[in-house]
Amino acid sequence: MIENGWNQFEIGSVLRPFSGEVSDVSVIQPEDRLYSASNSFSVSVADWRIEKPLFKKELCIDCQFCWIYCPDMSIISRDKKMIGVDYDHCKGCGICVQVCPTTPKALLMFPEQADEEIELAQWPKKETQETKEN
């Protein structure tokens, strides 16, 4: 596209989200859709992010709040089960963490360069009866 001359674009600066004809696209999972090169799905915006959300699966109750509230459709959910974060499109806004209702939260924000394995291992623990007595 970067090589296109003035006479090679579609008139009216229209863009087509899909390559070719589509029908009933809502039943196709995003990763299986024929997105065009100009669709934002085909472009990574990971480098916009300064902080990233990490996901601790064991604490998640699959309430889907993060999926509903994410402004960039970057929470991946299948059959109402939370699977993870789409790091190509997440911009690190932190809304998913804000709305996560569990204690401790199943989603927390970390610096972009933080190591996922280490952070998951150090995740805040659920308060037990014992810890409360101490």
The minimum distance between CB 21 and another protein, in angstroms, equals: 5
The minimum distance between CB 116 and another protein, in angstroms, equals: 34
Cβ-based nearer residue to another protein, 9 or 84 = 9
The CA distance from 92 to 94, in Å, is 6
Cβ-based nearer residue to another protein, 17 or 94 = 17
The minimum distance between CB 16 and another protein, in angstroms, equals: 6
What φ, ψ does residue 107 adopt, rounded to 5°?
-130, 130
Task: Copy the structure tokens of residue 124.
Answer: 């805040």
Cβ-based nearer residue to another protein, 19 or 64 = 19
Contacting positions for another protein (CB under 8 A): 2, 4-7, 9-18, 21-23, 25
- Cis status of the peptide bond prior to 104, with omega within 30 of 0: yes
Helices (H), 40-91: 65-69
